[in-house]
Structure 1
Amino acid sequence: MGQTVIKVNQQTLNQIKKHYEANKMNKQPPHTVFAAKQNGCTITAYKSGKVMFQGSSHAEEASLWDVNPQPKKTQKTNSNQSLEVLKQDHIGSDEAGTGDYFGPITVSAVYATERQQALLRELGVKDSKSMNDNTIASIVKDILKTEIIYSTVTLNNEKYNQLKEKKWSQVRMKAWMHHHAIQHVLNKLETTTPNGIVIDQFCEPKVYYNNIKASNDTPHQNITFLTKAESQSTCVAAASMLARYRFVQEMDRLSSLVGFKLQKGASNKVDQQIKRIINSKGEPYLNEIGKVHFGNTQKAKRLR
């Protein structure tokens, strides 16, 4: 069995852990942070920062993560630039639905001037992690009454599963979606050039750019990648809320199709709902409403 071992910093290790959370294995070897299995590949992350990829797709999975972080000097410069762009008009983008078995991935991009950002904050736009979906929906309805320019890209489950069969990673899908959501906003701006673009960081910049190029697109310039960007950029916070709002709308639509309220996330309750759907509509139906490569599918099939 082939394997690839890489060494990453703590920030990247946290991103890798988040990325594979849905397929986390129950048994965790000693001295490890986590272990997961996805796309026929076993991913084992150690406290030392080493991550081992084993299986037929080990090279592909390992290539998703930048093994050569930028020097500290470059990171410091990028940080200073980030602080400056946050004070100016800029585009911010974020996504929702990546860790949920049911429902699509949604990405939103928002452009707002300094004045508009102040208005958004007055409307309640901020890091939405502490808000419930009803509160987010209420604020988003107010956001949509403003003159901000935005775009939302939705990747439905059927297309998502087709891309997975073509060996697209979720990171590549998200990069592609962020790129196009941002491009749609830039098209709407026409002659206006934003001072920068801020993306809530879900992978190393090099990985992001490589994935855009792999889709035969040209990456945008002047992008700042920030972890927890929704707590620093009002534009990203607004984008996060819009993406969540759109995701919840789709979840409600899918729930009406199956006849009961679908559970968000990837818990044991989701396994039980998958089993219920398989029994009533057949396993192929999951392609239309779920991310079938998640470990939940196999867990549900083992339920009695």
Structure 2
Amino acid sequence: MQETLNFGKGHKEKILEALSKFEQGEVTSYFEEQRAKKDGCTITLYNSGKVSIQGKDAAKVKDELLAMLGLHPELTIGIDETGRGEREGPMVICGVLADTNGMRQLRDSKKTGDIAAKEKIVSEKMLASVSVTINSGAIDLLRSRGSSLNEIEAMAMAKISEFLSGLDANAKIIADGAPIKMPGPAGNAASQKINFLPKGDDLEPVVGAASVVAKHLRNSSHDMGERKTWNRKVETNEQD
């Protein structure tokens, strides 16, 4: 049995301190930072902040480790998209409101094998999610009217952040990727609070949860239409 937890680099000192209380193991590769053993399980801390727990009692050891770290509940809104640069099918933008600790076993959907199983975890543990699915025909329509991909994505993110912030105004908002220009504060104050984080879907658990839900929705879509406005150079390089 294996359990996975994902932490930011700011948690590493606490994790190393907790692991020092267990029997020590030998690291086996350059991307491992620390290994320890507890109740027949092997705990590995990677340079990225990922913690892998392998063994029969992995779930029990995971709960003990979280308790030792003293992590308090922290509501976060994570936002991510999938399908933006694809030639066919929809672009899906998703936001998830959840406790960060409840989503620590999730990562970027591109690194997740069983999307449906991970989506089930998200749906069980989240407080809410909001998704916008923009089919290929709608993408072509909006772009023919002069909207860029960044502007289309920003419109969806603004609506998502507005609704989820209405459930908890104190929740921090993190979106995967480089910053894009959001609608003005007069239209949506919540959208101005979005913190953009490159590789956020791999670094922040709730952003990873949003990535999983977005991917699950795109996988379930029956829209396989080709985008007539698709252009490889634009899809790859567009930044407003």
TM-score (normalizing by structure 1): 0.48
Measure, in 1, the Cα distance between the counterparts of 2:170 and 2:201.
18
Measure, in 1, the Cα distance between the counterparts of 2:194 and 2:126.
23
Aligned counterparts, 1:47-66, within 5 A: none
Measure, in 2, the Cα distance between the counterparts of 1:125 and 1:171.
26
Partner of 1:243: 214
Query: Relative to 1, partners in 2 of residues 1:168 and 1:147: Cα closer, same or farther, differing over 3 Å?
Result: closer
Partner of 2:181: 208
Instruction: Name structure 1 gaps, 5 residues minimum.
Output: 1-86, 256-288, 297-304
Is residue 119 of structure 2 the alignment partner of residue 140 of structure 1?
yes
Shift of 1:107: 0.6
Query: Relative to 1, partners in 2 of residues 1:294 and 1:197: Cα closer, same or farther, differing over 3 Å?
Result: same
Query: 1:226-250: CA deviations, max 9, x gaps?
Result: 1111122111010011111111111
Measure, in 1, the Cα distance between the counterparts of 2:208 and 2:141.
30
Query: 1:62-107: CA deviations, max 9, x gaps?
Result: xxxxxxxxxxxxxxxxxxxxxxxxx832211000001111111101
Query: Relative to 1, partners in 2 of residues 1:254 and 1:222: Cα closer, same or farther, differing over 3 Å?
Result: closer
The answer to which structure has the higher strand fraction is: 2
Query: Relative to 1, partners in 2 of residues 1:150 and 1:198: Cα closer, same or farther, differing over 3 Å?
Result: same
Aligned counterparts, 1:82-97, within 5 A: 88-97=74-83
Identical columns (%): 23
SS at match of 1:208: coil
Partner of 2:188: 218
Match of residue 106, structure 2, among 125, 129, 135: 125
In the alignment, residue 169 of structure 2 is paired with which amino acid? Answer: T
Measure, in 1, the Cα distance between the counterparts of 2:211 and 2:157.
12
Instruction: Tell me, yes or no, if the aligned pair for 1:94 and 1:243 is still in contact at 8 Å.
Output: yes
Measure, in 2, the Cα distance between the counterparts of 1:88 and 1:176.
26
Query: Relative to 1, partners in 2 of residues 1:185 and 1:170: Cα closer, same or farther, differing over 3 Å?
Result: same
Partner of 1:16: none
Partner of 1:234: 205
Measure, in 2, the Cα distance between the counterparts of 1:172 and 1:89.
27
Measure, in 2, the Cα distance between the counterparts of 1:100 and 1:208.
22
The answer to which structure has the higher helix fraction is: 1
Partner of 2:85: 99
Instruction: Tell me, yes or no, if the aligned pair for 2:98 and 2:125 is still in contact at 8 Å.
Output: no
Is residue 129 of structure 2 the alignment partner of residue 150 of structure 1?
yes
Partner of 1:294: 230
Root mean square deviation, CA, Å:
2.4
In the alignment, residue 217 of structure 1 is paired with which amino acid? Answer: G
Query: 1:115-139: CA deviations, max 9, x gaps?
Result: xx32322xx312332223xx11111
In the alignment, residue 100 of structure 1 is paired with which amino acid? Answer: E
Measure, in 2, the Cα distance between the counterparts of 1:181 and 1:219.
12
In the alignment, residue 254 of structure 1 is paired with which amino acid? Answer: D
Instruction: Tell me, yes or no, if the aligned pair for 1:94 and 1:236 is still in contact at 8 Å.
Output: yes
Query: Relative to 1, partners in 2 of residues 1:290 and 1:125: Cα closer, same or farther, differing over 3 Å?
Result: same
Query: 1:257-279: CA deviations, max 9, x gaps?
Result: xxxxxxxxxxxxxxxxxxxxxxx
In the alignment, residue 181 of structure 2 is paired with which amino acid? Answer: Y
Partner of 1:172: 151
Is residue 95 of structure 2 the alignment partner of residue 109 of structure 1?
yes
In the alignment, residue 184 of structure 1 is paired with which amino acid? Answer: F
SS at match of 1:213: coil
In the alignment, residue 143 of structure 1 is paired with which amino acid? Answer: V
Match of residue 199, structure 1, among 159, 165, 175: 175
Aligned length: 160
Measure, in 2, the Cα distance between the counterparts of 1:154 and 1:218.
20
Shift of 1:147: 4.3
Shift of 1:224: 1.3
Measure, in 2, the Cα distance between the counterparts of 1:245 and 1:154.
12
SS at match of 1:125: coil
Query: 1:160-196: CA deviations, max 9, x gaps?
Result: 1111111100011011111112223234x1xx32331
